[in-house]
Structure 1
Amino acid sequence: MGDGERYIGVAERRARLALRQRLAPAVRAVRPEEVADALVALHGTDPATVYLAVGARLADPSGTVPETDRALYGEDRTLVRMHGMRHTVFVFPAELTAVVHASTGLAVAARERAALVKDMAKAGAPDVTWLKEVEESTLAALGRLGQATAAELAREEPRLRERFVYAAGKSYEGVHTVSTRLLRVLGVEGKVVRGRPLGSWTSSQFRWALAPEHPQLDPAGARAQLLRHWLTACGPATEADLKWWTGWRVTEVRRALAAIGARAVSLDEGTGYVVEGDVDPVAAPEEPWAALLPGLDPTAMGWRERDWYLAPELRPALFDGSGNVGPTVWWDGRVVGGWAQRADGEIVWRILDGSGVGRDAEAAIAAEAERLRRWVGDTRVTPRFRTPLEKALVE
């Protein structure tokens, strides 16, 4: 431990997680916006994750779907689905969109546009001037339509249907339409965002919409702002955690830490950081708590170094081959198993060997499973990324 560094142990880290991530019953939220503010970002790669993550943290989850729809697609649009850290789709509080775009989106956008132009050139596709014309026409069409799918936009701008081969001769050779790649580029450039899906809240068939206007921020200042938000919600965290979550270079992480005057603390993994003024001890909730969190939940995916809440021996059952976490069962600050929904709507769960939970924990977990079953109702949810335990539970 360095001079003046306070030690924050596993028990306190779990207490912070319970309270700040709105998981203990006493601190559950009333509105989806409160959940998003607490977590900074909701994973949006699997559309169902957004709703399940919100519902797990609401005091009354019965209004999860209409309230989250209101926040995402209503007139005020208080939550925005857009590309963010690590070139991943997230749902952010609207007031953070400019911060996310400047701190993480600009660098990714430059790479994505360069890659699109290069791939099209290699395939003998039309030049940059042609692409610019298609882009301007597409944005104008979105302005007229309000929201539209890629197919609807292609009716307005037929050149979006043009196809080109990328990575010719490689094992991963494929064919892309201009619409697929261009809309992704426009997304990371902050020009378009995902709109209301065609189907239910589990659908991944999204419309597109013009992005809300936001100020252009200095990237370094935006990185400092984003880091402050995340450390307030998730600190303490190591440099490795911060580099992984943001997707930044380690030098950018260190500059942002210095810019916000982050305080170093001692963790079991080594040196960690909290925001200035956040070194006082945090007491655990009065009662132990249970939670059923969805695949890709921001809490389960929040840190690179996860031993303090997820035992290494449990990971093979709970993650897919690409490192995506599946549905998890939590007891008092640690992952103890997983859950799934069967075809008849039943929520089934399993405590993994060695987790060491007792009857009180099992009763609390069963109550959470019933709570989830009631608000999900007739909807059937299959995670986008299937994991060994989730598959086994539904067989």
Structure 2
Amino acid sequence: MGDGVRYIGGDERRARLGLRHRLAPAARAGTPEEVADALVALHGSDPAAVYLAVGARLTDAAGTVAETDRALYGDRTLVRMHGMRHTVFAFPAGLTAVVHASTGLAVAARERASLVKDMAKAGAPDAVWLKETEESALAALGRLGQATASELAEAEPRLRERFVYAAGKPYEGVHTVGTRLLRVLGVEGKVVRGRPLGSWTSSQFRWALAPEHPELPPAEAQAELLRHWLAACGPATEADLKWWTGWRVTDVRRALAAIGARAVSLDEGTGYVLAEDGDPVTGPQEPWAALLPALDPTAMGWQGRDWYLDPELRPALFDYSGNIGPTVWWDGRIVGGWAQRPDGEIVWRILTGEGTGADGAGGIGRDAETAIASEAERLTAWLGTTRVTPRFRTPVEKELGR
């Protein structure tokens, strides 16, 4: 890059990560809302991951479940909804309108068109019938407050209508209108996930009407989302931004221009930070350790991960679909994986360097192992009798969790 363009190396990027992602002990947060604000979005495809991501960053992790329940279902300062890449996240309530307009509208249009097309191919009722069913279901949900899909179908029986999807193909299946329609309504920002049917690890949720929010112009919303994300995760390349948002590269470039993002030089090429974020960032005074859950926002924050993850570790830590499992961190780098055994014990394995490690494999030095063991004890204490199995299993997690 040309003269005057600042270089940000891996050490500074890892320093930013420890501080801005609330992972260094001195940077930890007091509430789930502070964690979500720092990370922009908490992955919610695996319900337990939201709580585990919060607990890893709280000063007092003992109150993780109660405080996260309060934020999600009491105060509703966190909202679980579809977002980037058609994935479920928990967002700060103040960002729901931004996320909906910046990423949800385009996906929602495709999802509705796909549902109408699939129903037409199967000879199911038409779009007019679907619209009437939708309006009736939303009215019923308003009366009920929260409801499961089955409970909602009791109030609006047309949701039980079944149709054959992809008839004659290897992946042929039978769908219900309710299952597909609720998914569409979720992406459209009309409904959100409410309380789970079971504990905080349950993947079965009730549905609720989405909180009202203003309708923003998509380009304005994209610029605002990018501003938040670069504050938390900058610097990032265009490829990182395109991957994380799911936008077209033209949308990414327009949003970068709209916020006046500053170009910087990274080891992998050109990156971007906010215009006001040009000063060097120094890291925490002491190295830090963390045990982060599967799909943690830090581990999944960038497409280019070599600056915090040795490529040789990927096969052990990712599943076949590209979902990362539970990870062990030391001072800004992923160094291993962890799991919870059926008896509740938290076990971990260092996959880089030489030494003994907690279970006899790998190692990165006595200080690092001591700090990691302390984090494992901290996690064990607040999990108590709860058992957590990641929704997406990875090789090292499956081996350790036996």
Q: Structure 1 unaligned runs (5+)?
A: none
Structure 1 position 342 matched with structure 2 position 349: no
In the alignment of these two chains, the number of paired residues is 394
**TM-aligned CA deviation for residue 354 of structure 1:** 3.2
Q: Which residue of 2 aligns with 1:309?
A: 308
CA distance, structure 2, for counterparts of residue 122 and residue 99 of structure 1: 35
**TM-aligned CA deviation for residue 256 of structure 1:** 0.1
State whether residues 148 and 208 of structure 1, in contact with CA within 8 Å, keep that contact through their aligned partners in structure 2.
yes
State whether residues 54 and 64 of structure 2, in contact with CA within 8 Å, keep that contact through their aligned partners in structure 1.
yes
**TM-aligned CA deviation for residue 83 of structure 1:** 0.2
Structure 1 position 378 matched with structure 2 position 385: yes
Residue 329 of structure 2 aligns to a residue whose secondary structure is strand
Structure 1 position 389 matched with structure 2 position 388: no
Residue 170 of structure 1 aligns to a residue whose secondary structure is coil
1:331-362 deviations in Å (ceiling 9; x for gaps): 00000000000000000000014376100000
Residue 59 of structure 1 aligns to a residue whose secondary structure is coil
Residue 211 of structure 2 aligns to a residue whose secondary structure is coil
State whether residues 352 and 364 of structure 2, in contact with CA within 8 Å, keep that contact through their aligned partners in structure 1.
no
State whether residues 295 and 327 of structure 1, in contact with CA within 8 Å, keep that contact through their aligned partners in structure 2.
yes
1:28-78 deviations in Å (ceiling 9; x for gaps): 00000000000000000000000000000000000000100000001x310
CA distance, structure 1, for counterparts of residue 197 and residue 2 of structure 2: 55
Residue 180 of structure 1 aligns to a residue whose secondary structure is helix
1:205-230 deviations in Å (ceiling 9; x for gaps): 10000000000000000000000000
Structure 1 position 36 matched with structure 2 position 43: no
CA distance, structure 2, for counterparts of residue 268 and residue 165 of structure 1: 50
Q: Which residue of 1 aligns with 2:226?
A: 227
Superposed, which structure 2 residues align to 1:1-395 within 5 Å?
1-74=1-74, 76-354=75-353, 357-395=364-402
CA distance, structure 2, for counterparts of residue 65 and residue 175 of structure 1: 37
**TM-aligned CA deviation for residue 190 of structure 1:** 0.4
TM-score normalised by length of structure 1: 0.99
CA distance, structure 1, for counterparts of residue 246 and residue 307 of structure 2: 22
- The one-letter code sitting in structure 2 at the alignment partner of 1:32 is P
State whether residues 43 and 297 of structure 1, in contact with CA within 8 Å, keep that contact through their aligned partners in structure 2.
yes
- The one-letter code sitting in structure 2 at the alignment partner of 1:188 is V
CA distance, structure 2, for counterparts of residue 33 and residue 118 of structure 1: 40
State whether residues 339 and 400 of structure 2, in contact with CA within 8 Å, keep that contact through their aligned partners in structure 1.
yes
CA distance, structure 2, for counterparts of residue 385 and residue 27 of structure 1: 29
Q: Structure 2 unaligned runs (5+)?
A: 355-362
State whether residues 340 and 347 of structure 1, in contact with CA within 8 Å, keep that contact through their aligned partners in structure 2.
yes
CA distance, structure 1, for counterparts of residue 119 and residue 291 of structure 2: 45
- Moved >3 Å (runs of 4+): 353-356
Residue 223 of structure 1 aligns to a residue whose secondary structure is helix
Residue 80 of structure 1 aligns to a residue whose secondary structure is strand
- The one-letter code sitting in structure 1 at the alignment partner of 2:382 is W
State whether residues 42 and 50 of structure 2, in contact with CA within 8 Å, keep that contact through their aligned partners in structure 1.
yes
- The one-letter code sitting in structure 2 at the alignment partner of 1:297 is D
CA distance, structure 2, for counterparts of residue 363 and residue 179 of structure 1: 51
State whether residues 33 and 93 of structure 1, in contact with CA within 8 Å, keep that contact through their aligned partners in structure 2.
yes
CA distance, structure 2, for counterparts of residue 10 and residue 2 of structure 1: 20
State whether residues 340 and 388 of structure 2, in contact with CA within 8 Å, keep that contact through their aligned partners in structure 1.
yes
State whether residues 348 and 393 of structure 1, in contact with CA within 8 Å, keep that contact through their aligned partners in structure 2.
yes
Determine what percentage of the aligned residue pairs are the same residue: 85
State whether residues 160 and 178 of structure 1, in contact with CA within 8 Å, keep that contact through their aligned partners in structure 2.
yes
Residue 227 of structure 1 aligns to a residue whose secondary structure is helix
1:184-209 deviations in Å (ceiling 9; x for gaps): 00000000000000100000110000
**TM-aligned CA deviation for residue 168 of structure 1:** 1.1
**TM-aligned CA deviation for residue 379 of structure 1:** 0.5
Residue 349 of structure 1 aligns to a residue whose secondary structure is strand
CA distance, structure 2, for counterparts of residue 120 and residue 2 of structure 1: 55
State whether residues 220 and 256 of structure 1, in contact with CA within 8 Å, keep that contact through their aligned partners in structure 2.
yes
CA distance, structure 2, for counterparts of residue 126 and residue 145 of structure 1: 26
- The one-letter code sitting in structure 2 at the alignment partner of 1:366 is A
CA distance, structure 2, for counterparts of residue 334 and residue 304 of structure 1: 15
State whether residues 231 and 275 of structure 1, in contact with CA within 8 Å, keep that contact through their aligned partners in structure 2.
yes
1:75-128 deviations in Å (ceiling 9; x for gaps): x31000000000000000000000000000000000000000000000000011
Residue 79 of structure 2 aligns to a residue whose secondary structure is strand
State whether residues 2 and 266 of structure 1, in contact with CA within 8 Å, keep that contact through their aligned partners in structure 2.
no
